[in-house]
């Protein structure tokens, strides 16, 4: 019932020309995908990559968006600026932004509402640290991130949620499929309580954290996991396409 979505998060990798080369290699490999496919690219790559993706089934995503429409916010990028290039998705609240750039549930919330208002689809990232998992705080942390970061969203199924345990990001240490499924089930249950049961059934929840060609099948076979947010493995066309084609 929920269409899976596999999104690449290039992070701060690929100049515009390298990005174009990557999507040119990727397009033929994913053209028959049975899921939604997106690449979330550095802002400055957007114009060139948008052009290269024209007519393909790969959608374009950004990695952040400011919450104000315009004004004196040096270094920031507005939703309208993204929209003009056909950007469809925007990652919000990635753990790296929370850790290194002072992102909080409050700013995540403001960015998410601004993106929705502008007609972008936010991919809102949540997840616990290793210490939080080991001290039994995972559910409390996720609950706060949902209640605060997603406050005021009228229909939660309009966003995509990425569950990314911080300890699994870029570490090669994946959550087991059972762990990921169980935690995503908790996220869905919380969404049902905080928002509405119907929207919670519909909202797509990705897993992210060292997902690759080798483990994607097992993760994607889990009933609660509706896709992946892929970092390292999205930087090579064969690796990323193998995940996109997880069902083949
Ligand atoms: P990774 O990154 O796949 O390299 O672990 C995932 C992410 O941070 O979105």
pLDDT of amino acid 1: 84
199-238 residue pLDDT tens:
999 999 999 999 999 999 999 999 999 999 999 999 999 9
Q: Indicate if the pLDDT at residue 77 is higher than 90.
A: yes
Q: Which residue has 């605060």 as its token pair?
A: 148
In the numeric block, which tokens belong to residue 1? 């019932």
Non-local CB neighbours of 230 within 8 Å, separated by 6+ positions: 6, 7, 8, 9, 208, 211, 212, 240, 243
pLDDT number for residue 44: 98
Q: Is the pLDDT of residue 152 over 90?
A: yes
Mean pLDDT of 27-54: 98
- Find out whether the beta carbon of 219 lies less than 6 Å from any atom of ligand 1: no
Run of H or E including 92: strand 89-92
> What was the pLDDT predicted at 174?
85
Residues of the domain holding 212? 5-244
Residue among 66, 94, 96, 224 flagged as catalytic: 94
* Marked catalytic residue, from 103, 128, 132, 164: 164
Mean residue pLDDT across the chain: 97
Nearest-5° Cα angle at 33, 28 to 37: 90
Q: CATH number for the domain including 50?
A: 3.20.20.70
The domain tally of the chain equals: 1
C-alpha torsion angle, residues 127, 131, 132, 133 (rounded to 10) = 80
Give residue 61's Cα distance to chain centre.
9
Specify whether the backbone of 211 is left (phi greater than 0), alpha (psi in -120 to 50) or beta.
Answer: beta
């Amino acid at each position: 019932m929920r269409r899976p979505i596999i999104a690449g998060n290039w992070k701060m990798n690929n100049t515009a020309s390298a990005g174009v080369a990557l999507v040119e290699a990727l397009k033929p490999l994913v053209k028959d995908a049975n899921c939604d496919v997106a690449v979330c690219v550095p802002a400055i790559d957007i114009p060139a990559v948008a052009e290269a993706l024209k007519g393909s089934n790969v959608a374009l995503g950004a990695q952040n968006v400011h919450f104000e429409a315009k004004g004196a916010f040096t270094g920031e990028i507005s939703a309208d600026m993204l929209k003009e290039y056909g950007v469809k998705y925007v990652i919000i609240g990635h753990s790296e932004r929370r850790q290194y750039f002072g992102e909080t549930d409050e700013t995540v919330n403001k960015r998410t509402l601004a993106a929705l208002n502008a007609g972008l689809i936010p991919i809102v990232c949540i997840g616990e640290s290793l210490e939080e998992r080991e001290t039994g705080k995972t559910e409390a942390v996720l609950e706060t991130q949902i209640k605060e970061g997603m406050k005021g969203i009228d229909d939660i199924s309009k966003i995509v949620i990425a569950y990314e345990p911080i300890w699994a990001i870029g570490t090669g240490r994946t959550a087991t499929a059972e762990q990921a499924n169980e935690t995503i089930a908790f996220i869905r249950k919380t969404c049902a309580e905080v928002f509405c049961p119907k929207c919670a059934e519909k909202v797509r929840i990705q897993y992210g954290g060292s997902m690759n060609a080798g483990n994607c099948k097992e993760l994607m076979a889990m009933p609660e996991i509706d896709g992946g947010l892929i970092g390292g493995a999205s930087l090579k066309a064969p690796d990323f396409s193998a995940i996109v084609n997880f069902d083949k």
